[in-house]
Structure formats: C-alpha cells, structure tokens
Amino acid sequence: MSEIRVNKLIDEAGTGAVELTQGATIPSGKTLSGAGSISIDGNISIGGTLTYEDVTNVDSVGIVTAQTGIRVLAGGATVAGIATFSDGADIEGFKVEDGQTAATPNGEFNFYLASGHFFRYTGTPGADYYPNFKHSASINLNDRMNVNDAVTATLVVNSPAVTYHIANTIHIDGNATGENSYTIDTDWVGGSAPDAGNGSGHDIYSFTIIKTADKTFTILANALGAA
C-alpha cells in the first residue's frame, strides 16, 4: 500500500474541499478532526462508539440512549422513537427526572426546579411551610420561563399525628403576590387552601405553574391526603 504524506488537501481550484468519491476509512486508533465542517451525502457506518458534544439539534425517529442524561435547550430535540436517559432529562435547565429530599420543613423553603420536580420531606414539620419556587439559586423562574410556559412540581411531606402543619401559600423567586411587581394567582382544587394536615402518612401537593405575563403566574394547586 502506498502513502501520500501532506499537510493539507484542497480541491484543484484551491477553494474547497476534496471529494472522496469512493468513501473514506479511518483506521482504529486514528481520529478525524478539524475546525471546518464535514458534509456527507451518503450513509455513515460506525463500528465503535460515536461521541459528540455541543449538539444544537437532535432529530431522531429511532432509539436514543443517553448514558448520563440529556439536556435540551433552545432549539429542542425531536424524538419519535424510544428515548432512554440513565441520569434524567434536563429540559431547558429543568431537571425533570431527579428529586430532592430534606428532613424538616419549617416556614419558607427553596424548591429549585433545576434540581428536580419532586421534593420530599421525611421529618416532622415544625410549623406551617410553603415552597419558594425558583429555577435555581442564581436564576429566577421568571427569567427562565416564557409566557404560556408551564411546569409541574410535587411536594410530599410526612404528616404524623402529633402535628397538622400544612403548606398554605406559595412564593415565586422569593416573592409573595404583590411583592416586587409579582402577581401570583393560586387556584386550589376544591376552592380553598387546606387548613389542616392529614395526621397520618403523607400530605401530597401537586402544583402546575403557568407564566401568563412577565412576573405574573397562575398556579393550579391540589392537596391530596390533607384535610
């Protein structure tokens, strides 16, 4: 087998890429790299592992398997087949699959949706408690959500017989309604917030947060197991 050793390959006119009309084979242990782009009209056959970073869009009609999860930002990903994520799905910075656990709720607590949409308290509440929904410690929910976007969250709190403390209000980005131009309209299923805990098992709350305008949110709230 003969060899050609050159630093660069360009077309005859000196203005474009070389056409590999019979295809190309990259031997094991070798890499293909460069600052430009590669265009392939035909099929790609890969005998090993395909590794890529900084992908803008993924459009799949087959099976997608992500070893350490998937993060979807603006532009999105379209999957018409089966998607498997071993470490959760991060959709525009919201960690949908993962959950958070803490010991004892007491007053306001931060519910960071970037850390998961499920929050469970395992200890006995020390007082009435309420979630402060934010994207993360440094990013407000108002800055992450667009108008008409909606996110859901679930709160589970241990409800022992010795106390009936409850979640009876909701804050967003550290604000109650009327604070710092925030308007938060909380609509409880059944017409009103719960006034007592269940007294056994768990109190389970579900929240659907809808951004209707800048700093304006409607929250559909439901308390299960709380009387």
- Residues 157-190 have pLDDT tens digits of 887 766 677 887 899 999 999 999 999 999 999 8
Residue 20 maps to a domain: no
Per DSSP, 175 falls in state B
40 inside domain: no
Residue 81 has pLDDT above 60, yes or no: no
What is the dihedral angle through the alpha carbons of 190, 196, 202, 207, rounded to the nearest 10 degrees? 40
pLDDT tens-digit map of 206-215: 999 999 999 9
- Torsion sign over Cα 170, 94, 60, 57: positive
For residue 1, being part of any structural domain is answered with: no
| Number of folded domains that form the chain | 2
Q: Is residue 29 domain-resident?
A: no
Q: pLDDT value at position 61?
A: 53
Q: Are residues 85 and 98 in the same domain?
A: no
**What are residue 78's DSSP bridge partners?**
59
Residue 144 lies in a domain: yes
Residue 14 counted as domain residue: no
The dihedral through the CA atoms of 215, 113, 210, 189 has a sign that is negative
Whether residue 160 sits in one domain with residue 116? yes
pLDDT attached to residue 94? 65
Decide: 96 and 83 in contact? Cβ < 8 Å: no
Q: What percent of the chain has pLDDT over 70?
A: 68
- pTM beyond cutoff 0.75: no
Kindly state whether residues 160 and 65 are assigned to the same domain.
Answer: no
Task: Please give the C-alpha separations between residue 188 and each of 85, 95, 127, 174, 178, in angstroms, as whole numbers.
Answer: 34, 25, 21, 20, 19
Angle (nearest 5°) at CA 114 between 196 and 170: 30
Higher pLDDT, 127 or 145: 145
Residues 220 and 146 grouped into a single domain: yes
66-70's contacts with Cβ under 8 Å and 24+ in sequence apart are: 69/97
Q: Does pLDDT of 194 surpass 60?
A: yes
- In a domain, residue 150? The reply is yes
What is the number of residues in the chain?
227
Report the alpha-carbon distance of residue 77 to residue 128 in Å, rounded: 41
Instruction: Give residue 120's domain range.
Output: 94-224
Cα separation, 114 vs 94, whole angstroms: 4
Q: Which of 91, 115, 132 is the last residue of a domain?
A: 91
| pLDDT confidence tier of residue 59, bands split at 50, 70 and 90 | low
The answer on 99 and 81 residing in a single domain is: no
Residue 16 domain-assigned (yes or no): no
